[in-house]
Amino acid sequence: MAKKDRFYAVARGKTPGVYTTWKAAERQVKGFSDASYEKFNSFAEATNFMQEMNCREADIQLRDSGVVVAAPRDTQSQNFLDVADVLNDTASLNLEEKPEAKTAGEDNPYHLVAFCSSSAIPNELPGGVAAYAVYFPLECTPIRALDVNAHPTNNHADCLAALQATSIADELDPKSQRPLSIHSRYQGLVYAMAAHDGRQRWIDNWLKNGWMTTDKTPIEHQDIYRKLLEAEKHRKISWHFLDETADPAWMMELHHKTHIEAERYARLKFHAAYNNVMKRDNAGASNNENKKKNDLPSLLVGFFPLISFKTQQYVMDKTPHSG
């Protein structure tokens, strides 16, 4: 007689979600006070239970073999279980030393896969703003977006996004047992941190040269790169440059989803800056007229409806910061 599928809905536990094995579900409720869980014969029934328990939408997820996967919303949805396998295969290929193999199933943790993106409005101009976002599509966690307080450029924001990914990884996996794979469109960052085209990674040369390029100029964003090196001491990290001409569409779609959030956050900051300028200008009236003419947000006000900042899907210089 064929074994029936079972779905264990954990509404309150260490990590809420829907599990396909009792062993996995038990881990979430054992030792957890006021745990709430039920067994069902179908995913739909388990989902209904989670909804009745007022669980967050982010928690109504199917968790299997250590990976959280959003339930398909329609027949056109991507098979995220397959996507998870591909992402983890890609991450493994990018690691110089693969993690020690453990037993199959949940004792063999998946990679932590992070997509990082940024948006600067406008990029590298006075008065600009920037933000970045980090997305772990295989985990039960929302996209995290933050603004950039200093040096609001795409490159700086992309570096900060990668650093934030290492921090989130530490939150998700405090014992640093799971390798982290960082996906970014900033080629300079990826080439700095990973070997490429038969060449060693740039950061190794920077260390030898005292954080200077071959033309004796200081490396940009070196404070962030130093912290990334520190992060490597307690977790294996691999890097993947997202290339829309080579990577599959669904992978670029995950990046796009991340980028939209970074752009949304940057726009909010830009509008806030614009509103502050308008309040200041109105308060100062004619006394501030000259200052107003030199203020970028004020200058942009008349053109704002015509300017599309939709995206900084930029093409990076092939050799930024190379040493």
187 and 146: one domain? yes
Whether 209 is covered by a domain: the verdict is no
More confident residue, 30 or 169: 169
Q: Does any domain span residue 227?
A: no
CATH number at residue 270: 3.30.420.10
Q: Which two tokens stand for residue 316?
A: 């990076």
Cα–Cα distance, 162 to 138 (Å, whole number): 17
| Residue 14 shares a structural domain with residue 119 | no
Q: How many residues does the chain have?
A: 323
pLDDT in the model for residue 312: 36
Regarding whether 60 and 82 lie in a shared domain, the answer is no
Residue 106 lies in a domain: yes
Q: Are residues 57 and 109 in the same domain?
A: no
Q: What is the pTM of this model?
A: 0.61
Alpha carbon separation from 280 to 127, 149, 317 (Å, rounded):
15, 21, 38
Q: pLDDT exceeding 90 applies to what percent of the chain?
A: 39
Residue 91: what pLDDT? 57
- Residue predicted with more confidence, 227 or 139: 227
User: Could you tell me the two tokens for 50?
Assistant: 């989670």
Count of CB atoms situated within 10 Å of the CB of 77:
10
Whether 108 is in a domain gets the answer: yes
pLDDT number for residue 166: 98
Q: What is the DSSP string of 58-96?
A: GG--EEETTEEEPPPSSTTS--HHHHHHHHHHHHHHH-S
Q: Which of 188, 127, 120, 184 is nearest to 148 (CA)?
A: 120
What secondary structure letter does DSSP report for 237?
E
Among 163-167, 235-239, 271-275, which is the least confidently predicted range?
271-275
Q: Which domain holds residue 30?
A: 7-64
Whether residue 320 is predicted with pLDDT greater than 60 in this model: the reply is: no
56 and 82 co-located in one domain: no
d(CA 245, CA 24): 39
In this structure, the answer to whether residues 304 and 172 fall within a common structural domain is yes
* Dist. CA 226–CA 246, nearest whole Å: 30
Return d(Cα 276, Cα 268) in angstroms, integer. Answer: 12
Asked if residue 266 and residue 156 are part of one domain, the reply reads yes
Whether residue 251 contacts residue 242, with contact meaning beta carbons closer than 8 Å, is answered with yes
Domain co-membership, 39 together with 106: no
Q: How far apart are CA 173 and CA 110, in angstroms?
A: 11
In this structure, is residue 301 part of a structural domain?
yes
* Residue (of 218, 241, 250, 216) closest to 94 by Cα position: 241
Task: Read off the pLDDT band of 255 (50, 70, 90).
Answer: very high
184 bridge partner residues: 116, 241
Shared-domain flag, residues 106 and 125: yes
Residue 12's CATH number: 3.40.970.10
Tell me, yes or no, whether 249 lies in a domain.
yes
Please report whether residue 225 resides in a domain.
Answer: no
Same domain, 118 and 188: yes
Give yes or no: residues 171 and 303 share one domain: yes
115 and 181 share a domain? yes
- For residue 232, the model assigns a pLDDT of 96
Q: What is the crossing angle of helices 154-172 and 222-232, to 10°?
A: 20
The closest of 174, 225, 181 to 84, measured between CA atoms, is: 181
Domain count, the chain: 2
Q: What are the structure tokens assigned to 154, written together?
A: 């795409």
